[in-house]
């Protein structure tokens, strides 16, 4: 990212709560104005700690955080002009919707007429004009979260931090709110730093995603790049569903490797790692990238990007079907297939050929994230 476009900058950020163990290790990231960047990772990976450092609720152990080229690490939270949205809404229960929205404007001493005009604008924007005089206890979860979002945006901050804001909602409401947040982001062009452990949510909403593990960013890229071209085994396994097959490298030529697996079978895979002969590795293949062919339909050309497997169960999941197969070493491989008019019917213990494109198999060094 070009320096002139950088709005939020993290420079070699480290954070420790006990002066012994680092929960954030040498974090570097540049965020452009208006960009939607998600910090994604399992619980305890350091993503929320980064958000707290930006908000000013925690101090950095070392490194610096800059907004528009100016360090903010010595500023108090209220001086940073940052909006925040939390999972638990954090609405004032004794205030109406209008009063909740008015609060950050009154704190900033906006004129009364401007406050009311801004409240009306945002009530219309979140489609809750008729609910202006209701209290939070009289709202649904989705309505509360829309009010919380509007309150974080109403004073026109240039940066909005969101910490698992949809975690308390059910699936349908969560998907509706994903749409609402991205709609408002496109409309108002504010910069977002968003924290979640939900991979689908991150892929759906983000311009870029930084994947965390144990305080370290494993990869930061656009959703498509993360999903289709992960840098290591952790990212491949954490983002979306995946099949991970252990193997041993026989040899590597440029970005392609010949991998021995199972009982003397070999497959070819792409790799950006530097694999050595006889080095242990793992092959990642997305379940939707695999085709199922009955043995009589398989062709010799697919020998180095296919496996023979035994069918044992399938799960109907509405729009698609998960087929589970057993490999010769007893391990499981899953295939995800669209639920078409005539889905494939397989008999228990039927042997099939699982086939994929060599571009969809990625080989990684085992424990490459440590």
Q: What is the pLDDT of residues 200-239, one digit of tens each?
A: 999 999 999 999 988 889 999 999 999 999 999 999 999 9
Write the secondary structure of the chain as one string of H (helix), E (strand) and C (coil). Answer: CCHHHEEEEEEEEEEECCCCCEEEEEEEEEEECCCEEEEECCCCCCHHHHHHHHHCCCCCCEEEEEECCEECCCCCHHHCCEEEEECCCCCCCCCCHHHHHHHHHHHCCCCHHHHHHHHHHHHHHCCCHHHCCCCHHHCCHHHHHHHHHHHHHCCCCCEEEEECCCCCCCHHHHHHHHHHHHHHHHHHCCEEEEEECCHHHHHHHCCEEEEEECCEEEEEECHHHHHHCCCCHHHHHHCCCCEEEEEEEEEEECCEEEEEECCCEEEEEECCCCCCCCCEEEEEECHHHCEEEEHHHCCHHHHHHEEEEEEEEEEECCCEEEEEEECCCCCEEEEEEECCCCCCCCCCCCEEEEECCHHHEEEEECCCCC
From CA 365, how far away is CA 271, in angstroms rounded?
9
Residue (of 56, 73, 58, 88) closest to 11 by Cα position: 73
Nearest 5°: phi and psi at 169?
Answer: -95, 155
pLDDT at 304: 64
From CA 278, how far away is CA 250, in angstroms rounded?
6
Residue (of 200, 176, 356, 195) closest to 283 by Cα position: 356
Asked if the model's pLDDT at residue 298 lies above 90, the reply is no
Q: The domain 241-365: what is its CATH number?
A: 2.40.50.140
Asked if the model's pLDDT at residue 370 lies above 60, the reply is no
From CA 126, how far away is CA 277, in angstroms rounded?
59
Residue (of 349, 310, 317) closest to 332 by Cα position: 310
Q: Which residues contact 328 (CB under 8 A, 6 or more apart)?
A: 262, 263, 265, 308
Asked if the model's pLDDT at residue 1 lies above 50, the reply is no
- The pLDDT confidence band at residue 369, using thresholds 50, 70 and 90, is very low
The matching CATH number, chosen from 3.40.50.2300, 3.40.50.970, 3.40.50.300, 3.30.420.300, for 3-233 is: 3.40.50.300
Asked if the model's pLDDT at residue 173 lies above 50, the reply is yes
Q: Rounded mean pLDDT of the chain?
A: 89
pLDDT at 299: 61
pLDDT at 64: 96
Q: Kindly tell me the burial class for residue 163, based on how many C-beta atoms sit within 10 Å of its own C-beta (0-12, 13-18, 19 or more).
A: buried
pLDDT at 297: 64
pLDDT at 4: 56
From CA 38, how far away is CA 343, in angstroms rounded?
36
Nearest 5°: phi and psi at 180?
Answer: -60, -45
Using alpha carbons only, give the angle 336, 337, 338 rounded to the nearest 5 degrees. Answer: 130
Pinpoint the residues of the chain covered by CATH 2.40.50.140.
241-365
pLDDT at 294: 86
Pinpoint the residues of the chain covered by CATH 3.40.50.300.
3-233
| CB-CB neighbours of 82 under 10 Å | 22
pTM of this prediction exceeds 0.85: yes
Asked if the model's pLDDT at residue 301 lies above 60, the reply is no
Q: How many residues does the chain have?
A: 370
Q: Kindly tell me the burial class for residue 226, based on how many C-beta atoms sit within 10 Å of its own C-beta (0-12, 13-18, 19 or more).
A: buried
From CA 208, how far away is CA 357, in angstroms rounded?
27
Paired with 84 in beta bridges are 161
Asked if the model's pLDDT at residue 87 lies above 80, the reply is no
The stretch 285-299 carries a mean pLDDT of 84
């Amino acid at each position: 990212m070009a320096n002139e476009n950088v709005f939020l900058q993290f420079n070699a950020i480290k954070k420790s709560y006990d002066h012994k163990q680092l929960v954030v290790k040498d974090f570097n990231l540049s965020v452009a104005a208006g960009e939607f960047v998600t910090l994604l990772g399992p619980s305890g990976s350091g993503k929320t700690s980064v958000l707290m450092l930006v908000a000013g609720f925690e101090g950095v152990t070392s490194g610096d955080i800059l907004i528009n080229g100016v360090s903010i690490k010595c500023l108090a939270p209220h001086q940073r002009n940052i909006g925040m949205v939390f999972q638990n809404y954090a609405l004032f229960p004794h205030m109406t919707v209008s009063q909740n929205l008015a609060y950050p404007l009154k704190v900033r001493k906006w004129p009364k007429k401007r406050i009311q005009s801004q409240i009306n604008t945002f009530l219309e924007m979140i489609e809750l004009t008729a609910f202006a005089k209701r209290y939070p206890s009289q709202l649904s979860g989705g309505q509360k979260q829309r009010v919380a979002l509007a309150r974080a945006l109403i004073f026109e901050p240039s940066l909005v931090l969101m910490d698992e804001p949809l975690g308390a909602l059910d699936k349908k409401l969560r998907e509706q709110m994903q749409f609402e947040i991205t709609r408002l982001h496109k409309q108002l062009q504010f910069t977002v730093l968003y924290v979640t452990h939900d991979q689908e949510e991150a892929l759906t909403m983000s311009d870029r995603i930084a994947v965390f593990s144990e305080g370290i960013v494993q990869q930061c890229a656009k959703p498509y790049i993360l999903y289709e071209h992960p840098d290591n085994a952790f990212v491949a396994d954490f983002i979306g569903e995946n099949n991970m097959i252990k193997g041993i490298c026989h040899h590597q030529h440029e970005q392609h490797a010949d991998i021995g697996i199972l009982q003397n079978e070999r497959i070819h895979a792409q790799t950006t790692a530097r694999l050595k002969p006889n080095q242990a590795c793992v092959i990642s293949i997305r379940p939707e990238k695999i085709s199922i062919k009955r043995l009589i339909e398989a062709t010799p050309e697919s020998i180095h990007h296919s496996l023979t497997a035994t069918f044992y169960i399938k799960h109907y999941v509405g729009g698609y079907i998960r087929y589970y197969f057993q490999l010769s070493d007893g391990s499981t491989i899953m295939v995800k297939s669209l639920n078409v008019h005539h889905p494939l019917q397989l008999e228990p213990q039927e042997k099939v050929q699982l086939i994929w494109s060599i571009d969809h198999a990625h080989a990684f060094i085992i424990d490459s994230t440590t």
